[in-house]
């Protein structure tokens, strides 16, 4: 047998052996696996973080285009009272000299100094109404607004609300690009939002983030109204100094909040920013436009969040930590009249669930005095429903008066005193009563023309606006302290309706 035949036979034998082995192996495997059922596992569905509900990438350009031309730069000028002139007495005059005396260069270190500030604002109507933060324009003597196209206007302060940190301005312009209010109730945690501000008058600046929390309270903010309405929308959109008063919008370009604060130890953005919800801001703006002052209803209770610790402290037995504990009830308040008691747990305002003090504050802040609401609460271990007629801070169902109305009720014409007049009387501050009307509060309480008002409720009065501010935040009687030109000092008590 030659070599070619030998190779062919060897290859044939190898192939036959391989086929036999494969058949044998297949038979053995089939015998071992004939009772096994195979289940096909589908590949996991990938969810991309930057996709919308329709599966398309989130597009911020539409919202940005709708917003940037409605956001403005707000510049303020205000006077700061000199530290040297605050709280001086006659003792100081004898030992430290005349506080109005100028130095060798003609400069008086005790005269008020001029300071400047800035922030942002949002145009909310084509005829020039602008919403911003109260802290942006607080105590401002002059307010200037710059639009995104660089036009500038002098703005008038229509009204302010320290409790919500909202203020309303007006410029004399028409056909402006504006943002109408959206509904902040529809905002969801995790939703994309844009923060738009005009911090350095360099045209509007846009940043993006998501809603990280709702009904957030910061706690540390205080104001002269002694009543904070804190129920902020919290986002991680970058907001820095100068963005206060700017717009928080959703991807549809709807105004859902007014940017107000950041959580920071340095004054610069550190991860979280906070905005006043549009539902609160809109109510404040509507009141300021119609009444000149916010018609705020209060329930008249002190609140505490319901937690395992507070439940134990108030001796409340519960396994569900939902609702808000009534820590105390004010005498004569809306809550007391309706029958709500201390240690009751409020769970709903109308049909809206509340689970924190800020939740409850936000709901009540939407109403006016004399509005009627339903409160659901757990009282004495039972679910009860209370019909509540809301009242104002004075315990009345009537609307409160604006600063101008309060001022008019005094029945007085006042004038601010210049430095020379104050110097002649050795006074540091004061405003003079120059004329009295027949039925005004001043005349009825015995105040005579020429009286110089120095303090109201222990606060120094150096301008008519300061007097209005003090009166607008007062309830009941206010104490007025002053002096007549002959040196006789007098004190009067005026009741504020």
354, 346 in Cβ contact below 8 A? yes
Give 136's strand partners.
none
Reference 340, options 349, 27, 16, 175; nearest CA is 349
d(CA 195, CA 209): 8
Sole residue written with tokens 């109204």: 225
Buried b / exposed e across 285-316, counting CB within 10 Å, b at 16+?
bebbeebbbbbbbbbbbebbbbeeeebeeeeb
Q: Where are the alpha helices (DSSP H) in 215-349?
A: 278-291, 308-313, 334-338
Reference 387, options 449, 324, 340; nearest CA is 340
Residues acting as catalytic residues: 135, 165, 244
Task: Output the six-digit token pair for 215.
Answer: 């009904």
DSSP states of 200-216 as a string? TSSS-EEEEEEEEEEEE
Q: How far is CA 42 from CA 39, 46, 179, in A?
A: 10, 12, 47
Q: What angle do CA 36, 38, 41 make, to 5 degrees?
A: 150
482, 452 in Cβ contact below 8 A? yes
Q: What angle do CA 403, 405, 410 make, to 5 degrees?
A: 95
100 DSSP 8-state letter: T
DSSP states of 118-130 as a string? EEEEEE-STT-EE
Task: Output the six-digit token pair for 368.
Answer: 């006016």
Cα dihedral sign, 288-293-299-301 = positive
d(CA 111, CA 427): 13
């Amino acid at each position: 047998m030659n070599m070619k035949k030998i190779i062919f036979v060897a290859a044939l034998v190898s192939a036959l052996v391989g086929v036999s082995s494969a058949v044998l192996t297949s038979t053995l495997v089939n015998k071992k696996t004939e009772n096994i059922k195979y289940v096909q596992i589908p590949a996991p569905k990938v969810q991309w973080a930057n996709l919308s509900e329709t599966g398309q990438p989130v597009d911020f350009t539409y919202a940005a285009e709708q917003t940037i031309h409605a956001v403005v730069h707000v510049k303020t000028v205000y006077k700061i009272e000199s530290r040297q002139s605050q709280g001086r007495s006659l003792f100081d005059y004898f030992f430290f000299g005349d506080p109005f005396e100028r130095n060798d260069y003609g400069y008086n270190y005790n005269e008020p100094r001029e300071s400047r500030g800035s922030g942002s604002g949002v145009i909310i109507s084509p005829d020039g109404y602008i919403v911003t933060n109260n802290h942006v324009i607080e105590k401002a003597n002059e307010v200037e607004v710059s639009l995104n196209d660089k036009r500038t206007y002098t703005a008038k302060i229509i009204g302010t609300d320290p409790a919500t940190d909202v203020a309303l301005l007006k410029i004399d312009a028409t056909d402006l690009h504006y943002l109408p209010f959206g509904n902040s109730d529809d905002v969801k945690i995790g939703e994309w939002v844009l923060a738009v501000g005009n911090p350095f008058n360099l045209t509007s600046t846009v940043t993006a983030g998501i809603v990280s929390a709702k009904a957030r309270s910061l706690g540390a903010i205080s104001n002269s109204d002694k009543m904070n309405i804190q129920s902020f929308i919290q986002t991680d959109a970058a907001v820095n100094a100068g963005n206060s008063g700017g717009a928080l919008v959703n991807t549809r370009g709807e105004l859902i909040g007014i940017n107000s604060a950041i959580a920071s130890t340095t004054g610069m953005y550190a991860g979280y920013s906070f905005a006043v919800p549009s539902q609160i801001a809109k109510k404040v703006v509507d009141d300021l436009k119609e009444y000149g002052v916010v018609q705020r209803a209060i329930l008249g209770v002190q609140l505490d969040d319901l937690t395992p610790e507070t439940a134990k402290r108030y001796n409340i037995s519960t396994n569900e930590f939902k609702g808000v504990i009534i820590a105390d009830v004010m005498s004569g308040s809306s809550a007391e009249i309706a029958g709500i008691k201390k240690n009751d747990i409020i769970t709903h305002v109308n049909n809206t669930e509340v689970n924190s003090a800020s939740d409850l504050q936000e709901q009540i802040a939407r109403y006016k005095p004399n509005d009627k609401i339903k409160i659901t609460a757990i009282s004495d271990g039972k679910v009860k429903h209370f019909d509540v007629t809301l009242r104002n801070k004075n315990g009345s169902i009537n609307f409160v008066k604006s600063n101008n109305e309060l001022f008019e009720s005094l029945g007085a014409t006042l004038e601010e005193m210049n430095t020379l007049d104050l110097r002649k009387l050795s006074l540091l501050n004061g405003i003079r009563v120059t004329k009295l009307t027949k039925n005004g509060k001043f005349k009825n309480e015995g105040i005579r023309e020429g009286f110089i008002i120095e303090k109201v409720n222990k606060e120094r009065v150096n301008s008519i606006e300061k007097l209005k501010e003090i009166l607008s935040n007062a309830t009941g009687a206010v104490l007025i302290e002053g002096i007549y030109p002959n040196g006789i000092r007098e004190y009067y008590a005026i009741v504020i309706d």
